[in-house]
Chains A and B, each alone.
Chain A
């Protein structure tokens, strides 16, 4: 029983990531609405961010800001005392970039809505098929 508890406690971060990742992927595959697809992509990104941040932790370590005081001479810093800063750096930029790309995706969705009057994938498909045979000169 105790071994099961330790097993869960050492792996549960991956399971949370997998659940989020699968939810995002399902939204991207199965949902027909483009905004829902975009939000699914964002959930997927969140899963990746959580994955990176969770592998950066170390048991018994503190956050990656070196303890210091004024006039304190340089003392030895041990890597085991601080959590891994690298995933934090990577995800810090990834979060802001994901917000910016979300903006671009929503702008594209708004343009599609202005063009076809709907955000449902199958309805857009129908409208494209309707306009295809008659008009060869007006494309795009």
Chain B
């Protein structure tokens, strides 16, 4: 199998190498990819949508259907992970373990024992010993808000600079995942519960699809943002620009929530306890 696979890929590589000689040169402005539809996008984006970042305009406006269903695919991936992994523990564990944060002592509390209430000093942990590192925890606590702020900037400034809903959503999700890695999953779940991530994911997709439906109700085509002009009280060109921002916000919400949701389920094997 190994030899057969090697022969196959070498043959394929040789064939592709031979074919690559017929491909257009790198940076050729008259290559087929650069001649059909892309010149229209480059030359008319500004007058059609008043969005300088052509990538954003094409993503959310000209090819809005594509992006709508990409968002739906991402949401379905989050759902698939949830249905595959999630285990709800019905029986209470025999003993719970708590770490006293100021001293680093671990307490074992048998079933029926008094559970410490002050969550600032006591932290529930699993029986598998997890090291506690104050430097990593504090550094990440300082860094996470700035990453989140940057993510919001990337979403909001997607019209004028590289960015948009997908990139900003991934950065925001990465910030929450960083918090979950540096602290632990229980504490992260208190900040952003699983219910919330599922809700945000679906709300993001609904914002996108709802914007399209709203355009339909206002007399334009599905995802034809010119229909939003009367609702937003601006001219059709600005309406397209504003609607792109609305749609990108929906994408950002969905991507953030789904990234975090997938991490929750994968890192704790569906139990959603301590995590990594």
CB distance from B189 to the nearest CB of A (A): 18
Number of B residues with CB within 8 Å of any CB on chain A: 66
Q: Which of B31, B74, B81 contacts A97 (CB 8 A)?
A: B74
Whether A59 lies near B27 (C-beta < 8 A) is yes
Does A103 reach chain B (CB closer than 8 Å)? yes
- Closest Cβ–Cβ distance, residue B170 to chain A (whole Å): 6
**Is B142 among interface residues, defined by CB-CB distance under 8 A?**
no
Q: Tell me which of A106-114, A123-131, A132-140 binds B.
A: A106-114
Chain A: residues with Cβ within 8 Å of the partner, total of 58
Which residues of chain A from 26 to 74 have a CB within 8 Å of any chain B CB? Answer: 26, 29-30, 54-61, 63-68, 74
Report A's interface with B, CB cutoff 8 A.
Answer: 9-15, 18-19, 21-22, 25-26, 29-30, 54-61, 63-68, 74, 77-80, 82, 84-90, 92-93, 95-97, 99-101, 103-104, 106-108, 110-111, 114
Q: Interface residues, chain B, CB within 8 Å of chain A?
A: 1-2, 4-6, 8-10, 12-13, 16-17, 20-21, 23-29, 31, 33-34, 37-39, 41-43, 45-47, 52-55, 58-59, 63, 66-67, 70, 73-74, 77-78, 80-81, 84-85, 160-162, 164, 166-167, 169-170, 255, 258-259, 262, 265-266, 269
Other than A11-B20, A93-B59, A107-B80, give 17 A-B pairs with Cβ distance below 8 A: A10-B25, A11-B25, A14-B16, A14-B23, A25-B9, A30-B2, A54-B26, A55-B31, A60-B27, A61-B29, A65-B55, A85-B54, A88-B55, A89-B55, A92-B59, A97-B74, A100-B78
